Amino acid sequence: MSKKEKKRFRRILISAVLTAAALLVPDVPGWLGYVSVALYLAAYVVSGSDVLINAVRGIGSGSVFDENFLMSVATLGAIALGDLTEAVSVMLFYQIGELFQSLAVSRSRKNITALMDIRPDTAMIETESGMQEVDPESIPEGSEIIVRTGDKIPIDGVVTEGSGELNTAALTGESKPRYVVPGDEVISGCVNNGTMLRIRTTKSFGESTVSKILELVENSSFKKAKAEAFISRFAKYYTPAVCIAALILAVIPPLFTGSWSVWIHRALTFLVISCPCALLLSIPLAFFGSIGGASRSGILIKGGTDVESLASIRTAVMDKTGTLTEGSFRVSGVSPADGIAADHLVNAAAAAETYSTHPIANALREYAGTTADPSLITEASDIAGQGVRAVCGGSTILAGNSKLMKAENIAFVTESFSGTTVYVAENGQFLGSIRISDSLKPTAAETVGRLASSGVRCVMLTGDSENSAASTAAELGISEYRAGLLPADKVSFVESLISELNGKGTVAFVGDGNNDAPVLMRADVGIAMGALGSDAAIEAADIVLMDDDPSKICTAMEISRRCMRVVKENIVFALGIKALCLILGALGIAGMWPAIFADVGVMVISVINSARLLKKI
């Protein structure tokens, strides 16, 4: 327990002992009666002093009608009527409920606290005098850092020396380590379980993955869900309304019956019952617990609104490359045109892709095994949705899809291949085609099946050819797909789906974050797949999956739907019990003890229900 929780527990214990002592004092006239009253009042002050102080502060700041005001008026009124036992009991049980709620929140915060531990406090650099620990914020991009065995990687970068396994569990929720060698990109927050690594930083500390993730989690509470906003608005009008109702109950009936003490007692009971603590505490806890629980599974949710949107997904639109497939392309075949050598075809394609960062360009360069002299490349440009054009050694080389060949009026031979086909031309002459293959992620087909079985419509979008898209869709069991799309086409398609649903559910887009930022932002729910280290994805998406496993989409949906079930259960249960007890209290059927249950009991039960969300799925 925290210091504050320990202090509250001690006050509860002291108040309980004083109350027990007061109950043991014989109820007889004389000095013993004064002792009993003194013990009750002492117990009341110990357990309720903070509530009274907060009520006074609330009045001073203009925030009069809150739970502190309700509890103070009700218990002070009970004392005035001589109901000392009930007054102390209300305060004592209220404090017990507050302690329980605080412990539940603390438990959910442990997930966030554990996540915060991934932030390294120092970084190691090599100087003329030897190894030196420095503040990672002082290390500029492009510097070389040393990561010893057992240390966390402080800044994103590329391994230049050393190899071994990295523990990524704190980031991805997965226990399987990742093996890295020189040339591999690594992200901050991972623990080096291998030999000492030398890493050349590719970002500053503030822009690294771990800093972006922590910033995202820390700010998650600022995005309140509709249910949370509803409860806040509800309490704003509900609290003064019940105060006015209690005042009417205390004043109007006695004008006709004359039984002032009876009706004042009923009004005070009415106030205790009406306290909206159960909703004010349990609903935010449900969302906070879900966000914390999701982080343990390697799923970062930016706020309560995104939990709510996840639960109502009706259509899931998924990018193909890097989301449903591995995105690790390889050359699987070369078909040179008549009279063209295969080596010339491959080298020309690799030269054209010299400055491209696309995964297909990487595959072509790797297959060629050689790179063109950068000084020979006098012009290089990407043609969106088609390919690249480059001038190398005075020759104009085109490498791309069939659209590029048609746009440049190149006579070419069409390939019918399930993968991706790159057509290559030089100075207007067709050189041939190169086949590029990709493979499905192990859980991709399972994910599509689980989404479909839960009533979610699945659509695949890709910029690849029709043949490639059809083949992948068939393997996955997806009946709807669109091929040959530009980023703007994807946005338009998602907008049409949103209009089609017309508010009856949400549309999610799942992308790998490379060029999907516009559509991630436009979708009702943007989910970034495999986007660690991608600033655009983390900032544009609502949900960030910490690894490449598409099945985490289903896990995120399960967490959100479970959260919304708990929220609805708490709202119905709390309002139902309170409405019943308010009627019974106004009629004089329910006294102060049922009022205590309607307030503290309902709050405790609702908080216990919300605390179930802390369990990892």
* Burial bucket for residue 440 (CB in 10 Å: 0-12, 13-18, 19+): middle
- Rounded CA separation 172/55 (Å): 45
What is the C-alpha to C-alpha distance for residues 204 and 23, in angstroms, rounded to an integer? Answer: 66
Contacting residues for 189 by C-beta, under 8 A, at least 6 apart = 118, 119, 120, 152, 153, 170, 171, 209, 210, 213
Pairing state of beta strands 506-511 and 313-319? parallel
81: its two tokens: 């009527």
User: How is residue 588 annotated by DSSP?
Assistant: T
Q: 3-class DSSP state for residue 451?
A: helix
Beta-bridge mates of residue 434: 334, 422
Return the CA Rg of the chain.
33
The pair of structure tokens assigned to 519 is: 């559509």
* In 25-123, alpha helices (H): 31-61, 67-80, 84-116
Q: Per-residue DSSP letters for 551-580?
A: THHHHHHHHHHHHHHHHHHHHHHHHHHHHH
β-bridge pairing 377-383 and 543-545: unpaired
Query: Rounded CA gap, 572 and 555, in Å?
Result: 26
294, 547 Cβ separation under 8 angstroms: no
Q: Report residue 597 CA to chain centroid gap.
A: 35
Question: Containing H/E element for 6?
Answer: helix 3-24
Helix, strand, coil share (%) of the chain residues, nearest 5: 55, 20, 25
Label residues 227-261 b or e (16+ Cβ within 10 Å = b).
bbeebeebbeebbeebbebbeebbeebbeeeeeee
CA distance 30 to 313: 70
Instruction: Answer whether 535's CB lies under 8 Å from 280's CB.
Output: no
Among the listed residues 402, 406, 385, the one whose alpha carbon sits nearest the alpha carbon of residue 461? 385
Instruction: Count Cβ atoms within 10 A of the Cβ of residue 494 and give its class: 0-12 exposed, 13-18 middle, 19 or more buried.
Output: buried
Among residues 66, 83, 151, 319, the one annotated as catalytic is 319
Q: Does 319 participate in catalysis according to the annotation?
A: yes
Using an 8 Å Cβ cutoff, are 554 and 448 in contact? no
Q: Tokens representing 430?
A: 């067709």
Question: Cα–Cα distance between 531 and 471 in angstroms, integer?
Answer: 25
Q: Rounded distance, CA 379 to CA 396, Å?
A: 9
Longest dimension (CA), the chain: 120
- Report whether 54 contacts 97 (CB < 8 A): no
Catalytic residue positions, numbered = 319
